[in-house]
Structure 1
Amino acid sequence: MTGTTGSFHVEKEGDDQLILVTLPDLPADYQASLLDRYGDIYFLVDFLNGHIPLEKIEILITYGFDLDECTLNKLPSLKWVQVFQTGVEHIQLNELENRDILLTNVRGIYGNSISEYVMSFILYFMRDMERFIENQRLQIYNRSILPDEVYGKTIVILGAGAIGREIAKKAKLFQMKVIGVNTTGSPVEGFDEMYTFDDRNQVMGKGDFVVALFPVTDKTYHCITKEQFQLMKKSAYFINVGRADLIVEEDLIQALQQEMIKGAVLDVFNEEPLPKSSPLWEVDTLYLTPHISGKTKLFYQRCIDIFDENYRAFKAGDQLAFNFNYQKGY
């Protein structure tokens, strides 16, 4: 490794394809793990300015934010892009499709981490932890105001996929009522009720907690606005661990400032990193985290395991897992 813009190159005998990794935050121990497993591999933060044979790179591991026409022009041999996240809406997909480049993402690795994240905030709010933390700071010993319980509360989960099912499972352990929304309204194990997307307004007022998990499509874009916040209980909390474009951020700010709802949690934002000038920072009842709900200390190993399986399939000419379908858009 030669600093943050350098590369670590290891050559092994054989016909291994050259791999370029452009993950700027990949820990050193995981870099070592990749080096142990594969042939020619380079690590580079700003790979466009690196001293590596870009024209020979066949496999790229990335988050996808560095993929544009200019980058792809410098990688003429690129055959496969492995994105270490689920969302690919930020990638210029038409450029990859036109060059017949395989695109794979990672799926099925976020259920445990995101469900823990959601439940941690639910417990934080119900057990009034903020007040106790503040009282400790002020050296106040006060037992007169009692906290609430999660028991018997209702959670509405907008999106009943793998992550939604895992949240439902954990919510059930706390004896919550679980209401879900999916495309068809078809029943899903672990949910007490299920509604269609078009009927989502019917459930917004039922939840003590409303959790957004929908993928962004033409139909779900800005599907949660002032109208939906007005339907929620004034005592309810909104949690977005899906996509930023599911909501209108200005409407959420207004809903909180006007006390339409009690509080909200955002882990995704229209602009990331969230700039210091964003008004979101100034809302007292809004809790912000830096797109970290699905990213724990186990994240990289789970991604590498998926890449490892796909790498063997790629070498064998077999179908890759989680291969993006350009025609279907997912």
Structure 2
Amino acid sequence: MRVGKITKVHCYGRFAIDALDASMSALGGRRLIACRTETEFVAELGQIEAVLGIGMPVDNWSRAERLRLIHLIGSGADSLLPAKGLSSDVQVANARGISAPAMAEFAVSTLLGLTKRLPDALTSQHAREWKRHHPRLISGATLLVVGAGPVGREVAQRARALGMYVIGIRRTGAPHPGFDEMHSADRFAQLATRADAIVMAVPATARTRQMLNADVLDRCTANCLIINVSRGDVIDEEALSARLHAGVLGGAALDVFQREPLPATSPLWDAPNTIITPHVSWSTPDYPSRVVDLFFTNIERVESGQPVINPVDHVRGY
């Protein structure tokens, strides 16, 4: 692992550029190079030492001979990994944990809204129709949280405070004190039969792609609620939409989709008791500044030969 001063800092994408522009004092004498287009970024590849961004347009990283740090502005690494030609010496970090409270609040607030049938109530309100939609009780219900990372743990904490029984799923299945039960991912379909609601909070990898598929959905109870704050690829959207419209699921709250923006032709838009939001569950006013602070902390750690905070495994993808 190389040590020593990083003299230039690159950024790619509007979010990263705006965030760094607002934090110029943090550069510490380093030169900032903003790449606004794919062409600019690819042209700079051989000069990059540390970069902040997401969705970087590189087919082969072998020319990035000076690269020491890739820092993602979000928690997902699916837009980067697997990365052809990327040296194992390059440290990859993400922003996991920064938005965990906000995403947990989104998951639990939409869970409450669906349980109380607020989407149906708003539809009736807009139609000026006096129609009763009978709410259910969330206390005593069973929540299945898929993913026991920072977001999943924050969701579990809030759900238990509301009186829910919380079952967790993680890769290892190792117990965690924040959950009433913990199991490995191979038991997902079996556990779905017990769930009054399922929150998807897993990273997008080859192993989690369409993890919530038709088979799992068919095992869910007729009132089961589906909340997704992870990535659209972890759900079979076609299967979910079909079951929502058929009335064999209780509803859904979806903040992420396989294709974003969600096409106007998607049947998910008018699925019953469903909340659609445009990938905003992570958003808080201080998110950009906190990402930049973490980025420069990790630059300093790379310069001194230390491992980064929030490392991402090149092989596992999270």
Say whether the fold is shared (TM-score over 0.5). Answer: yes
- 1:271-282 equivalences under 5 Å are 271-282=259-270
Pairing 1:107–2:96 present? yes
1:17–1:57 Cα contact (<8 Å) kept = no
Structure 1 position 89, deviation (Å): 2.1
* One-letter amino acid matched to 1:245: D
Structure 1 position 250, deviation (Å): 1.5
Structure 1 position 328, deviation (Å): 5.0
2:252–2:274 Cα contact (<8 Å) kept = yes
Q: Which of 53, 59, 62 is the aligned partner of 2:50?
A: 59
Structure 1 position 127, deviation (Å): 2.8
Equivalent position of 1:80 in the other structure: 69
Equivalent position of 1:263 in the other structure: 251
Question: 1:277-327, CA deviations, whole angstroms, 9 ceiling, x for partnerless residues?
Answer: 444334344432222222322322221221121121122232222333335
Equivalent position of 2:173 in the other structure: 185
CA distance in structure 2 between the partners assigned to 1:77 and 1:62 by the alignment: 17
Structure 2: give runs of 5+ residues left out of the alignment.
Answer: none
SS in 2 for 1:69: coil
Quick one: structure 1 residues 182 and 58, their matched pair in 2 at CA, closer, same or farther if it must change by over 3 Å?
closer
* One-letter amino acid matched to 2:72: V
Q: Which of 107, 123, 129 is the aligned partner of 2:118?
A: 129
Q: Alignment length, in residue pairs?
A: 311
* One-letter amino acid matched to 2:58: D
SS in 2 for 1:97: coil
CA distance in structure 2 between the partners assigned to 1:78 and 1:26 by the alignment: 18
Higher relative contact order (CA 8 A, sep 6+): 2
What's the C-alpha RMSD, in Å, of the aligned pairs?
2.9
Give aligned-pair identity as a percent.
26
Structure 1 position 55, deviation (Å): 5.3
Q: Which of 157, 168, 171 is the aligned partner of 2:159?
A: 171
- 1:312-327 equivalences under 5 Å are 312-327=300-315
Equivalent position of 2:86 in the other structure: 97
SS in 1 for 2:158: helix
Structure 1: give runs of 5+ residues left out of the alignment.
Answer: 1-14
Equivalent position of 1:212 in the other structure: 200
Pairing 1:18–2:8 present? yes
Q: Which of 192, 213, 219 is the aligned partner of 1:231?
A: 219
SS in 2 for 1:109: coil
Query: Which structure would you say has the larger Rg?
Result: 1
SS in 2 for 1:239: strand
* One-letter amino acid matched to 1:42: I
